[in-house]
Amino acid sequence: MDLKHWKLERDAQDLAWLWFDRAGSATNTFSTEALRELGQVAEHLAALPPKGLAILSAKENGFAAGADIDEFTTIASAEQAMAFTNLGNEVFDRIAALPFPTLAMIHGFCMGGGTELALACRYRLMDDGPKTRMALPEVLIGIVPGWGGCKRMVPLIGAANALDLMLTGRSVDGRRAKKLGLVDAVTQKRHFANAVRMLLANPPAPYKPPFMAAVTDWPVVRSLVASMSRKKVAEKARQDHYPAPYAIIDLWKDFGGDVRNIPQSHPASMASLFAHPTTRNLIRLFKLQDRMKAMGRGSPPKVGQVEQSGGETVRHLHVIGAGAMGGDIAAWASLKGITVTLQDLAPDRIAPAVQRAHALYKKRLKQPHLVQAAMDRLIPDVAGAGVAKADLVIEAIVENAEIKRKLFAGLEPRMKEGAILATNTSSIPLQELSGVLERPERLVGLHFFNPVAQMMLVEIVEGPQTSPEVMQAGQAFARQIDKLPLPCKSAPGFLVNRVLSPYLMEAMLMLDEGIPAEAIDAAAKDFGMPMGPIELADMVGLDICWAVGHELQKPGTPIPKKLRENIEAKRLGKKTGQGFYTWSKGKAQKSNGSGSVDLKPLADRLVLPALNEAVACVREKIVADADLCDAGVIFGTGFAPHRGGPISAIHERGKESWLKAMAELRVKHGDRFVPDTGWNAIPE
């Protein structure tokens, strides 16, 4: 057999070892060619059966990441989509039908098709390290687990558990996978070979789920579980915006989990999902995410410690300011394995950050020794002793240029040679801060978003003097801590706040006109925002909205009256229990429904200021191109992912239609609705 992507060996005990090693790629993904070869291997082994088969990956980073997304995105017709789907099913069915024990050895990431191959094996063995994760994340790109994932996972762990994983796309580690029954054993990767030999020498009966899990797939219970799942999904995503989760429920309930049973005309079929604009937009977003990840790789930065440590990025981070942002940035970096010293004016200002960090580690790391190790890496440091040792110093003190400059002037002489200085400022241009520095080229903006643990994006802000190496190091640091870097020019509001701010301000002006908050929020959600702007403003804090809005306000734009009143009365939103809404138990108290208001024109009015600003940002090259503008706004604000971001939303509905709506709004509300000149560059 001539294999490009797989390597097959038989050992002295007549066990077959099949290594997945996708040629020309650092990651295992399933292309048509890789699938066909796997089919050949299955045929060969069926004809000459070994005692058992172990399937493992030759790649450092994981077992397999799923279908080859590049091949996937070139699929042009429903027929091609079905052919690719059928091929995966046929090959995995052949593996499942092998007449001897089969076992998948899983380390690193095991996603989508990787999980589906593992499920086609009789047994699964999983590494217990923190980097090993298993998931069926197809829903996140608008499709269903179509290579037998649904068909095989449900009988293994029960419908309720399987739906939970398939509908959220959530990944599980080895311990959780074992608890669910997804894998038969969990051990460190170095013990894999022994564990395999033991399992295959004495194969136990395949795993069966406990009664309470199995019962959720019984025909009589199925309708109930399906309708409960639909209800839960509907709370999060509308079917016309996100058809895939609904398709997964139908696939399981009505078609035995096998996509080949779904008629092409059914909304859950692969053909229908492929034709849906959401799928196209989500796949594009997935690829953009990859593009942003790649920006963190680049060539190793040539600065100080970075060079000495052989291309490694930051080992020691020093954070100044242990408030909402600094405290959480420090906690996150320590969670990701970096030694962090955290400085503030007094110990009692650092203590709440350490407490929050502990809660984060307990939630994310679970195991006490890992929690302890992360706590040990996070070192309170009022005296600022860490400055001299740090590869990177991040400033997150009060938003005041004078105070920041004073801090920088004292800081720079104490920093080690080659270390990088970063500011988390959300509005001060870097050039206003770098004047006090001997080496302004080593100042970069690292603009995180609140809450740090949940927001993926970090804007890497380039001042006029920031050196390319320092920009690259900033991007690499963002990747080191598993965030998505977005290089931005240092202009007011960078990208995300600049686009978000006029949207929030418009919402508040609508409130001043007497439009109910509930209607404004409902209109935004109708468009596809995860949360309405009034609720979001309350969450962010009205003082922060005020400061950012003030900084970015265009001349002639009115100041929202109710916002000012709330600020004066110290009603700052969620954090004070009262803002535009009253907050109780962490939730905004809303009156039911949005009345008889027509939401569509409200949505246009809300969204257009954001679209207009996004167009301006692309024209001004705040980010490199329109794709990165879309990705930044989605990952920084949650802007309607199914619409593919602001620029994509313009293309989807058509420039002419948006400009017509804008002209009408200008007549009613004035010149803040004048289209930016950047619209001229957008094709009809």
Residues marked active site are found at 426, 447, 459, 497
Among 203-211, 257-265, 444-452, 613-621, the segment contacting ligand NAI (CB under 6 A):
444-452
Complete DSSP assignment for 565-626:
HHHHTT--BGGGTBSSSEEETTEEE--SS-TT--HHHHHHHHHHHHHHHHHHHHHTTSSSSH
Q: In angstroms, what is the minimal distance from the CB of 321 to ligand NAI?
A: 3
What does the alpha-carbon distance between residue 134 and residue 124 come to, in Å, rounded to a whole number? 11
How big is the site for ligand NAI, counted in residues (CB under 6 A)? 24
Spatial neighbors of 397 by CB under 8 A, at least 6 apart, are: 320, 321, 323, 326, 403, 404, 407
The rounded distance, in Å, linking the Cα atoms of 301 and 295 is 12
Q: Which of residues 535-594 bind ligand NAI (CB under 6 A)?
A: 544
Enumerate the H helices of 513-560 as residue ranges: 517-527, 533-540, 542-552
Cβ 343 to ligand NAI, closest distance in Å?
Answer: 6
Q: Which residue has the tokens 């005041």?
A: 400
Q: How far is the CB of 289 from ligand NAI (least distance, A)?
A: 21
Binding mask 283-322 for ligand NAI (x = CB under 6 A): -------------------------------------xxx
SS3 content of the chain, % helix, strand, coil (to 5): 55, 15, 35
What is the nearest approach in angstroms of ligand NAI to the Cβ of residue 259?
A: 43
- On the CB side of 262, CA atoms within 13 Å amount to 28
Q: How far is the CB of 86 from ligand NAI (least distance, A)?
A: 48
Q: Which residue has the tokens 């167009």?
A: 615
In the region spanning residues 66 to 105, those forming contacts with ligand NAI, defined by CB under 6 A, are: none
Bridge-partner residues for 462, per DSSP?
489
Q: Nearer to ligand NAI by C-beta: 322 or 665?
A: 322
Which residue in 310, 248, 279, 263 sits closest to 641, CA to CA? 279
Contacts of 177 by beta carbon, 8 Å cutoff, 6+ apart: 124, 126, 134, 183, 186
Answer yes or no: are the C-beta atoms of 639 and 645 closer than 8 Å. yes
Query: Which pairing describes strands 316-320 and 420-423: parallel, antiparallel, or unpaired?
Result: unpaired
Nearer to ligand NAI, 47 or 398 (CB): 398
Minimum CB separation from ligand NAI for residue 500, in Å? 11
Map residue 6 onto helix, strand or coil: strand
Using CB under 6 A, pick the residue from 343, 466, 475, 637 that binds ligand NAI.
343
Which one of residues 367, 450, 553, 576 is an interface residue with ligand NAI (CB under 6 A)?
450
- In whole angstroms, how far apart are CA 322 and each of 73, 354, 397, 398? 44, 9, 8, 10
Closer Cβ to ligand NAI, 380 or 644, answer by number: 380
| 3-class SS string, 150-203 | HHHHHHHHCHHHHHHHHHHCCCECHHHHHHHCCCCEEECHHHHHHHHHHHHHCC
Min. distance of Cβ 397 from ligand NAI in angstroms?
4
Q: How far is the CB of 425 from ligand NAI (least distance, A)?
A: 4
Among 52, 326, 485, 573, binds ligand NAI (CB under 6 A): 326
Cα radius of gyration rounded to whole Å, the chain: 27
**Interface with ligand NAI in residues 227-256 (CB under 6 A):** none
Q: Does the footprint of ligand NAI cover residue 466 (CB under 6 A)?
A: no
522 or 545, CB closer to ligand NAI? 545
> Which of 323, 492, 516, 530: binder of ligand NAI (CB under 6 A)?
323
In the complex with ligand NAI, the residue whose CB is nearer, 182 or 320, is 320
Stretch binding ligand NAI (CB under 6 A), from 102-110, 245-253, 338-346, 468-476: 338-346
Who's near 676: CB < 8 A, 6+ residues apart?
612, 613, 615, 616, 619
Q: Which of 325, 552, 626, 650 binds ligand NAI (CB under 6 A)?
A: 325
How far apart CA 455 and CA 474 sit, in angstroms, is 17
User: Would you say 542 or 665 has its CB closer to ligand NAI?
Assistant: 542
Which region among 152-160, 343-351, 368-376, 602-610 touches ligand NAI (by CB under 6 A)?
343-351
**Burial class (CB within 10 angstroms; exposed 0-12, middle 13-18, buried 19+) of 451:** middle
Give 485 or 528: the residue with its C-beta nearer to ligand NAI. 485
Distance CA 278, CA 247 (A): 13
Minimum CB distance to ligand NAI, residue 430 (Å): 12
Report the site for ligand NAI in 357-416 (rule: CB under 6 A).
Answer: 396-399, 403, 407
- Compare residues 1 and 398 and give the one whose CB is closer to ligand NAI: 398
Instruction: State the minimum distance, in angstroms, from the CB of residue 242 to ligand NAI.
Output: 28
The minimum distance between CB 558 and ligand NAI, in angstroms, equals 24
The residues in 413-442 that bind ligand NAI, with binding defined as CB under 6 A, are: 424-426
Q: Which is nearer to ligand NAI, 352 or 516 (CB)?
A: 352
Residue with smaller CB distance to ligand NAI, 171 or 424: 424
- Tell me if 136 sits within 8 A of 157, measured CB to CB: no
Q: What does the alpha-carbon distance between residue 18 and residue 334 come to, in Å, rounded to a whole number? A: 38
Which residues, including other chains, have CB under 8 Å from residue 430's CB and lie 6 or more apart?
423, 443, 444, 445, 461, 462, 463, 464, 465, 466, 490
Torsion-angle region of 482 (φ positive above 0: left; ψ -120 to 50: alpha; else: beta): left
Q: Identify the CA nearest to 443 among candidates 303, 340, 291, 312.
A: 303
Closer residue to ligand NAI in complex, CB, 48/398? 398
Cβ-proximal residue to ligand NAI, closest one: 323
User: Strand pairing of 102-106 and 378-380?
Assistant: unpaired
| First-to-last C-alpha distance (Å) of the chain | 53
Nearer to ligand NAI, 18 or 320 (CB): 320
Candidate residues 237, 324, 379, 588; the one interacting with ligand NAI per rule CB under 6 A: 324
| Closer residue to ligand NAI, CB minimum distance, 143 or 353 | 353
Peptide bond connecting 451 to the previous residue in cis, omega within 30 degrees of 0: yes
Given 345, 409, 674, 681, the residue binding ligand NAI (CB under 6 A): 345
Task: In angstroms, give the least distance from the CB of 122 to ligand NAI.
Answer: 50
Residues forming the site for ligand NAI (CB under 6 A): 320-326, 343-345, 349, 396-399, 403, 407, 424-426, 447-448, 450, 544
